[in-house]
Amino acid sequence: MRRLPALKSGWMLVAGFSFAVMGLFVKLGAPDFSPAELVFYRSLFGLIPLALFAFRQHQPVTTMHWRLHLVRSVSGLISLWLYFFALTQLPLATAVTLNYTSPLFLALLMTVLSREKLHRPLLLTLIFGFMGIVLVLRPHLGPDQWFAGLLGLLSGFGAGVAYLNVRAMGELGEPEWRIVLYFTALSTIVLGVYLLFVPRHPLTWGNVWVLLALGGAATIGQLTMTRAYRTGSTWLVANFAYSAIVFSSFLGILFFREWLSWSGWLGVVIVIMAGISASRQVRRRVPVRPTEVCS
């Protein structure tokens, strides 16, 4: 990991593209696997290379910050499960946009944890952002898709909780590979046990490549995102995170011919602008100590 180029905030562009590719393979794998199976294999195929890295490099896997890891891993697993379900039911750009409301929730969470009054600029930013969400959802979802839309929005909240803990652990010097290792390990164990008691779909040579590509893209995205938050400018990283929506929009058009209406695109732009504004205001006004996250 030390020999990687010093892209700093630029690592978030790599993460954005990786997460967009992950979303693409979730949709490609949806006809053959349930969302729980997709999350399980995404976690399993991400866990194996991380465990091998730790073993070969003699890296310590123990940590003093297990509470932060637990909260990050549980919230991340719930968020990912909801997100994958939304991806299987909604257009790619719509599902990704809903998940990337996480900076809005992160701003709200940091304000609450810091016991700071919700000042007017941030309040207006949040209202503006959720107006964008309405534009993204309302023209494009059928009566049978609103439940998936709600779960996609909840995945954004869960991601906000997870990123709050990623930031806290970054401030404590926790390496990015260990953060992702604990997350993928917990996800693999929990879903592995769950899948023992429900019907499963068989692995074949015709579908296993989708799972391998999904796991690889997700792991690269997790590692580069965590490195970006640790080494780059928080505000710039938050801006670059939205590249995943742009990449996903192009992939949705290219592979599934998912064209949004003008109001849908306007909603995407509004969500991006609101997220950038929320991240900037939080960075300037709301300090959160790592100990506050688990208090």
Would you state the pLDDT for residue 183? 92
Would you state the pLDDT for residue 294? 42
Q: Give domain status of residue 3, yes or no.
A: no
Pairwise pLDDT comparison (251 vs 279), residue with the higher score: 251
Would you state the pLDDT for residue 1? 44
Would you state the pLDDT for residue 145? 81
Q: Average of pLDDT values for 281-293? A: 52
Residues 44/186, Cβ–Cβ less than 8 Å: no
For the beta carbon of residue 198, count every other beta carbon within 10 angstroms. Answer: 9
SS3 179: helix
Range of the domain at 27: 8-293
Tens digits of per-residue pLDDT, 145-163?
Answer: 889 989 999 999 998 888 8
- Tokens 């909603």 belong to residue: 267
Cα dist from 43 to 38, 39, 47, 123, 192, whole Å: 8, 6, 6, 36, 10
Look at residue 232 and tell me whether its pLDDT is greater than 70.
yes
Least confident window among 76-80, 161-165, 203-207, 228-232: 228-232
What is the overall mean pLDDT for the chain?
Answer: 84
Residue 235's pLDDT band, with cuts at 50, 70 and 90, is low
DSSP states of 83-136: HHHHHHHS-HHHHHHHHTTHHHHHHHHHHHHTT----HHHHHHHHHHHHHHHHH
- Tokens 């107006």 belong to residue: 131
Q: Which of 22-31, 42-51, 109-118, 237-246 has the highest mean pLDDT?
A: 22-31
Q: Give domain status of residue 1, yes or no.
A: no
Would you state the pLDDT for residue 293? 46
Q: Give domain status of residue 171, yes or no.
A: yes
Would you state the pLDDT for residue 285? 53
Nearest Cα residue to 33 out of 179, 241, 252, 207: 207
- Tokens 């011919």 belong to residue: 257
Domain count, the chain: 1
Residue 139's pLDDT band, with cuts at 50, 70 and 90, is low
Q: What percent of the chain has pLDDT over 90?
A: 36
For the beta carbon of residue 291, count every other beta carbon within 10 angstroms. Answer: 11
Q: Give domain status of residue 110, yes or no.
A: yes
Q: Give domain status of residue 281, yes or no.
A: yes
Distance CA(11)–CA(240), nearest Å, equals 9
Residues 239/44, Cβ–Cβ less than 8 Å: no
Q: Give domain status of residue 213, yes or no.
A: yes
Q: Give domain status of residue 2, yes or no.
A: no
pTM value is 0.86
Least confident window among 3-7, 271-275, 283-287: 283-287
Would you state the pLDDT for residue 116? 65
Would you state the pLDDT for residue 4? 58
Tens digits of per-residue pLDDT, 57-100?
Answer: 888 888 888 989 999 999 999 999 999 999 999 999 889 999 98
Nearest Cα residue to 76 out of 11, 156, 130, 16: 156
Sign of the alpha-carbon dihedral angle for 149, 43, 223, 213: negative
Residue 291's pLDDT band, with cuts at 50, 70 and 90, is very low
Token pair in block for residue 27: 């949709």
Q: Give domain status of residue 252, yes or no.
A: yes
Q: Average of pLDDT values for 264-287? A: 75
